[in-house]
């Protein structure tokens, strides 16, 4: 229950404080998606969110370890938080290039949004190197609208859902 509460709090903080996305290597230049950005109708947001997750996991296969394609889905500020630690975009791309994900499943996808930002929560599991995942875990992805293209800025795995 503690993990679920912490994950929900993280999603709320990200949604309502805005996500700063650095557009270049300059330490002083960052932009935030403007508050005037469009909010999608609920059904469309749900469809877009489900599509983003499908694309996200669609690149996690043994035959499709295309780091360039996966890289295009992520903002340069992307961060992954899992039981193995916190990884930046470069570290995640290295792991993905070196790992054979044999299958993935997602369920219970829920999408919430504020203008220019989308939080997608779901349960998911990924089988690695042919070994089945022990159980599905609760996950969240946060995306920002960068001029009409949704980019991932956060992935977090909160562990096994409560029984």
Residue pLDDT, tens place only, 82-122:
999 999 999 999 888 888 888 889 999 999 999 999 999 99
| Other Cβ atoms closer than 10 A to 127 | 14
Quick one: pLDDT at residue 58?
A: 80
Residue scoring higher pLDDT (7 or 103): 103
Q: Mean pLDDT across the chain, nearest whole number?
A: 78
The model's pLDDT over 62-71, given as tens digits with 9 standing for 90+, comes to 776 667 788 8
Q: Does 134 score more than 90 pLDDT?
A: no
Q: What gap in Å lies between CA 15 and CA 52, rounded to an integer?
A: 17
2-13+40-159: CATH topology: Nuclear Transport Factor 2; Chain: A, (3.10.450)
Question: Are 123 and 161 within 8 A, CB to CB?
Answer: yes
| pLDDT for 66 | 67
Q: Which of 36, 15, 27, 13 is nearest to 119 (CA)?
A: 15
The pLDDT of residue 161: 79
Give residue 64's pLDDT: 63
Work out the pLDDT band at 13, boundaries 50, 70, 90: very low
Give pLDDT, residue 24: 37
Q: Using CB atoms within 10 A of its CB, is residue 149 exposed (0-12), middle (13-18) or buried (19+)?
A: exposed
Q: Which residues contact 24 (CB under 8 A, 6 or more apart)?
A: none
Where residue 37 falls among pLDDT bands split at 50, 70, 90? low
Closest CA to 83 of 1, 163, 160: 160
Question: What's the token pair of residue 10?
Answer: 């993280």
Q: Parse the chain into domains and list their residue ranges.
A: 2-13+40-159
């Amino acid at each position: 229950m503690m993990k679920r509460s912490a994950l929900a709090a993280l999603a709320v903080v990200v949604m309502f404080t805005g996500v700063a996305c650095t557009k270049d290597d300059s330490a002083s230049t960052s932009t935030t998606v403007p508050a005037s950005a469009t909010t999608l109708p609920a059904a469309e947001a749900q469809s877009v969110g489900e599509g983003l997750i499908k694309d996200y996991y669609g690149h996690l296969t043994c035959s499709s370890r295309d780091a360039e394609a996966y890289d295009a889905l992520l903002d340069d500020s992307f961060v992954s938080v899992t039981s193995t630690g916190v990884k930046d975009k470069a570290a995640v791309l290295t792991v993905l290039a070196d790992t054979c994900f044999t299958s993935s499943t997602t369920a219970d996808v829920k999408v919430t949004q504020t203008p220019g930002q989308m939080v997608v929560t779901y349960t998911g599991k990924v089988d690695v190197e042919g070994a089945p995942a022990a159980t599905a875990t609760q996950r969240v992805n946060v995306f920002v609208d960068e001029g009409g293209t949704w980019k991932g800025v956060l992935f977090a795995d909160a562990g096994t859902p409560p029984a």
